[in-house]
Structure 1
Amino acid sequence: MMFKQNPRLPVEVVIEIPRGSFLKRGSTGQLDFISLLPCPFNYGSIPAYIGLEGDLLDAVVLGPRLALGTTLTVYAWGAIGVYDRGMYDDKLICSLTPVSPWQQRGLVLFFSCYAQAKRLLNAFRGRWGRHGCGGWGDAAAAIAKATPRAAVEWYGPSVPF
């Protein structure tokens, strides 16, 4: 089964976590935590938008490892919705080429497992709320839910991660 993809929706992404890194950094560069497992893809944010949880809109960039701080334009082919402490957050799935059905299923599985790992980490931190993966969604709809950064002053996430 293939999930719906957007045709070539360009976005600019800044890499915060290079593929293979154990260090989880946020959009401000602050170290959030050290992971037991390496990140399986490049992870970053789209500085032009603020997501629903008050931080920059998240982006996964598939492909080879990119250096921390790399800024590049790629295509958003879809989005995966994740609940963390009851807050909904879209993760745009980006690459230069379309995302295969195998990659789509793998990403949904990864974020389903990730949400449960965050549930355990947040329980340890005393932070409660719903955790889960909402599945594959439309990239354009995810961007439409976000707030253009030019519309507000943003100084970092409003909640601790």
Structure 2
Amino acid sequence: MSEPLLLPLLPREPEVVIECPRFSFVKRRADGSVDFVAPLPCPYNYGSIPGLMSDDGDPLDAVVLGARLPRGQRVRVPVVAVLGFIDSGRGDPKVICSLGELSDTERLGLESFFRVYAFFKRGLHLVRGNVTDTRFTGWLPVTSASFAS
């Protein structure tokens, strides 16, 4: 199966709407409805970038590193990396935003989190009768061509 990881052109500092504050157990959709309750808290602020869409038809996901932010807060933080992810057979990359460059420890933490996240999402998709192809695919290249001018 080809991996449809199409990434729209990104602003260098996108506006991210926080949907799941750091350490939250509740994963929400962009509209605020509950998607699922996780068995482990999310160690990151998780949200989306309004106006940019993923291949899965949802707003483009973003992770904001740093202190816990309240649900609904809108922040502008520079893009430092993009993590490749397939969710239910569709491209669902994660834009990683931070005030500083990613350390090796942060990169490893993100990889580990999204591998575990994929494992639990596959189970959720199985229960819901969805396509179960859900996985971390690696880091996507971020170059000057990745950004809107």
TM-score > 0.5 by shorter chain? yes
Q: Which amino acid aligns with 2:36?
A: F
| TM-score, scaled to structure 1 | 0.79
From 64, 67, 72, the equivalent of 2:70 is: 67
Change (3 A) 1:44 1:12: same
Structural RMSD (CA) = 2.0
Alpha-carbon shift at residue 143 of structure 1 (Å): 5.8
Q: Which amino acid aligns with 2:120?
A: A
From 94, 97, 104, the equivalent of 1:94 is: 97
Q: What secondary structure is seen at the aligned counterpart in 2 of 1:57? A: strand
Alpha-carbon shift at residue 79 of structure 1 (Å): 0.8
Structure 2: how far apart are the matches of 1:106 and 1:21? 17
Kindly provide the CA deviation profile for residues 63-98 of structure 1, in whole angstroms up to 9, marking residues without a partner as x: 000000110110111111111111111100111111
Q: What secondary structure is seen at the aligned counterpart in 2 of 1:98? A: coil
Structure 1: how far apart are the matches of 2:134 and 2:46? 20
Question: Structure 2: any 5+ residue segments left out of the alignment?
Answer: 1-10
Q: What secondary structure is seen at the aligned counterpart in 1 of 2:13? A: strand
- Report runs of 4+ in structure 1 exceeding 6 Å deviation: none
What residue number does 1:17 align with?
Answer: 20
1:17 and 1:23 in contact (8 A); partners too: yes
Alpha-carbon shift at residue 138 of structure 1 (Å): 2.7
Corresponding position: 1:136 with 2:139: yes
Structure 1: how far apart are the matches of 2:144 and 2:138? 14
Identity of aligned residues (%): 45
What residue number does 1:45 align with?
Answer: 48
What residue number does 1:159 align with?
Answer: none
1:23 and 1:34 in contact (8 A); partners too: yes
1:79 and 1:142 in contact (8 A); partners too: no
1:92 and 1:139 in contact (8 A); partners too: no
Aligned length: 137
More moved, 95-104 vs 54-63? 95-104
Change (3 A) 1:57 1:141: farther
Q: Which amino acid aligns with 1:31?
A: V
Question: Structure 1: any 5+ residue segments left out of the alignment?
Answer: 1-7, 145-161
Change (3 A) 1:123 1:49: same
What residue number does 2:7 align with?
Answer: none
Q: What secondary structure is seen at the aligned counterpart in 2 of 1:54? A: coil
Alpha-carbon shift at residue 36 of structure 1 (Å): 1.5
Q: Which amino acid aligns with 1:52?
A: D
Structure 1: how far apart are the matches of 2:72 and 2:36? 18
Structure 1: how far apart are the matches of 2:61 and 2:145? 10
Instruction: Within 5 Å, give how 1:137-156 maps onto structure 2.
Output: 137-139=140-142
